[in-house]
A and B are shown apart, each in its own frame.
Chain A
Amino acid sequence: MGQIMEQMPIVVDALNIGFLQTLKLFFVTLIGAFPLGLVIAFGSMSRFGPLKYFSKCVVWIIRGTPLMIQLLIIYYFPGLVLHKPIWGGGEAGRFLAASFSFVLNYACYFSEIYRGGIQGVPVGQEEAGLVLGMTKSQIFFKITLLQMIKRIVPPMSNEIITLVKDTSLARIIALQEIIWAGQAFMKGSHGISGAIWPLFFTAVYYLVFNGILTLLLGRLERKLDYFR
């Protein structure tokens, strides 16, 4: 126990750096996947056949295969098979590839949540807007959007919390996120080796961060309680 207390400051410093990378991947994924998911949702609801089936096919492939495999293919395929390493080297390249994979993956899940949210808004809302001379985009932004957001907050919260934990999958392409940082102490890092407790300790980071997210998302849900 005394030894752990000694190692603590060193471990926390290293884990903080790793967690920063985790957070970066988390936020980049959200920022990219929120709008891209909407685009895919509209694609899969399109009346234009080819676009509809293309969107549905992308969602099927992405949701039907493990994110870990997607990460590996997206990171290694261009360089190893096509001999065009588009991601660049080092941590920056790994981060770019991981971000791309996560945005694509999460956008597909989000698109299905969006689709449910949009289709859950009664058709009478759109008709009322049309009869009042509104354009399709006015109807979407002024009427449908907020009702959709209200509907999707609970399932979205679930996905967001899953995303926090899924970022650890980027470890598979050696992205130096918090699991990677924790694991490093087993092999040896910062003069500490053979220590497994830092890896276990990473769970605390996830737990605390998800706790904060749960509170914030709950607050958002309550904020939208003013209408039904």
Chain B
Amino acid sequence: MSILEVEHICKSFNRTEVLKDISFSLEKGQALSVIGSSGSGKTTLLRCLNFLETPDQGVIRVNEEVLFDADDPSTRQEAAIRKKRLHFGLVFQSFNLFPQYTALQNVMLARELLASEQPDYKARKKEILEEIHVQAETLLRQMGLENRRDNYPHQLSGGQCQRVAIARALALQPDILCFDEPTSALDPELTGEVLRVIKELADENTTMVIVTHEMAFARDVADHVIFMDDGNIVEQGDPMQVFEQPKEERTRQFLQRYTQG
């Protein structure tokens, strides 16, 4: 059964079509890599999944629940969207950590705020906060950042920031974790530590959608690859097949440019 089903998503900005009839599905525990040149619509696709953009057409389903249907206005309500976002986590290219909070606080904040809305929060406050704290520390340890928990983002390297951002996204236990070019803002020598963490998550069968320009990584980590060009999915399939024997000429050209460096 597919955990994520995307059907016929279209999105335009000022009459420029950025996504043209995008459909795909993703199985639970699988990693999907989305590749393609800049401006092909990859980032917009991720932003649609996270409700940062509203598609003009199409349907998004998670666990067979319709989260978004362009033809059903009730799925567009702001209050409802907020809860639906929690099915997805998003790791940004530029991290977007909250600068006034330490690494640990960055990871804890959203869960604390959500917990404070629970009816039993007042009665169990101490217990709940302790639980959130323990989880955040566990996540930072998993990211190899146990020594960095009390540092502020400006005291961390780009790679460390991005790992905090990954921990922050994981803290809400999303069904699907999305990465928007997670290493593009990093110095080359720092990409490895971030890619390693994502690889570990893939090995633990975290369901992920990864938009990336790291072709070797995309091939290595993904169970499924989508190649996008000009707002269309040109080709998709098994990574070995897409990377080694692309069926489409455009895929071949794109990959050639990358292998030539």
CA gap between A131 and B83 in the complex, in Å:
10
Tell me how many residues of A have a C-beta within 8 Å of chain B: 21
13 more A-B contacts (CB under 8 A) besides A138-B113, A143-B98, A226-B152? Answer: A128-B98, A131-B88, A133-B83, A133-B86, A133-B113, A133-B172, A142-B109, A142-B113, A150-B100, A227-B100, A227-B152, A228-B152, A228-B154
Interface contact B82-A133, CB-CB below 8 Å: yes
**Could you mark each residue 35-52 of chain B with 1 if its beta carbon is under 8 Å from any beta carbon of chain A, else 0?**
000000000000000111
- 25 residue pairs bridging A and B, Cβ less than 8 Å apart: A124-B96, A125-B98, A127-B92, A127-B96, A128-B92, A128-B97, A130-B50, A131-B50, A131-B52, A131-B89, A131-B169, A132-B109, A132-B169, A133-B113, A133-B114, A133-B172, A134-B113, A135-B82, A142-B109, A142-B113, A143-B98, A226-B100, A227-B152, A227-B153, A228-B153
**A90 at the A/B interface (Cβ < 8 Å)?**
no
Contacts A124-B92, A124-B94, A133-B172; A147 near B52 (Cβ below 8 A)? no
* A225 CB, nearest partner CB in chain B, Å: 10
The yes or no answer to B168 lying at the interface (CB within 8 A) is yes
User: Do residues A127 and B52 form an inter-chain contact, with CB atoms below 8 A?
Assistant: yes
* A17 touches B (CB below 8 Å): no
Q: Which A residues touch B114, using CB under 8 A? A: 133
Q: Which of B141-158 contact A (CB under 8 A)?
A: 152-154
CB neighbours (8 Å) of A228 from chain B are: 99, 152-154
Q: Which one of A122, A125, A130 lies within 8 Å of B52 (CB-CB)?
A: A130
Q: Interface code B74-88, partner A: CB below 8 Å = 1, 0 otherwise?
A: 000000001101101
Docked pose: A18 CA to B80 CA in angstroms? 57
Chain B residue nearest in CB terms to A145: B100
| In the complex, A192 has a CB within 8 A of chain B | no
B92→A133 contact, CB < 8 A: no
Instruction: Name the residue of chain A whose CB is nearest to the CB of B84.
Output: A133
Q: A207 near B: Cβ within 8 Å? A: no
- Cβ–Cβ < 8 Å partners of B82 in chain A: 130, 133, 135
State whether B172 touches A132 (Cβ < 8 A).
yes
> How many B residues face the partner with a CB closer than 8 A?
27
A146 to B224, CA, bound (A): 42
**B219-259 interface bits toward A, Cβ cutoff 8 Å, 1 = contact, 0 = none:** 00000000000000000000000000000000000000000
CB-based contact A133/B110 at 8 Å:
yes
Candidates B94, B99, B110, B152; contact of A134 at CB < 8 Å: B110
Chain B residues lying within 8 Å of A146, measured Cβ to Cβ, are: 100
Taking CB atoms, residues of chain B closer than 8 Å to A135 are 82
For B152, list chain A residues within 8 Å (CB): 226-228
Would you give the shortest CB distance from A204 to chain B, in whole angstroms?
39
If over half of A's interface residues share one DSSP class (helix, strand or loop), that class is named, otherwise mixed; here it is helix
Cβ of B89 to closest chain A Cβ, rounded Å: 7
What's the nearest-Cβ distance from chain A to residue B246, in Å? 33
Distance of B35 from chain A, by nearest CB (Å): 22
B90 at the binding interface (Cβ < 8 Å): yes
CA of A129 to CA of B109 in the docked complex: distance in angstroms? 10
Nearest Cβ in chain A — how far from B197, in angstroms?
Answer: 18
B94 near A132 with CB under 8 A, answer no
On chain B, the residues within 8 Å of A226 by CB distance are 100, 152
Residues of A within 8 A of B86 (CB): 133
Q: Which 3 A-B pairs have the closest CB atoms?
A: A132-B110, A128-B96, A124-B96
Per-residue CB contact flags for chain B residues 97-138 toward chain A (1 = under 8 Å, else 0) read 111100000000110011000000000000000000000000
Q: Do residues B99 and A227 form an inter-chain contact, with CB atoms below 8 A?
A: yes
Taking the closest CB of chain B, its distance from the CB of A218, in whole angstroms, is 20
Q: Are A147 and B92 within 8 A (Cβ)? A: no
B92, A132: Cβ atoms closer than 8 Å: no
A129 to B51, CA, bound (A): 12
- Distance from B231 Cβ to chain A, minimum over Cβ atoms (Å): 22
- Contact for B168 among A122, A124, A130, A132, CB less than 8 A: A132
CA distance A128 to B89 in the complex (A): 10
Q: Name the distance in Å between B69's Cβ and chain A's nearest Cβ.
A: 20
Residues on A with beta carbons closer than 8 Å to the beta carbon of B94: 124
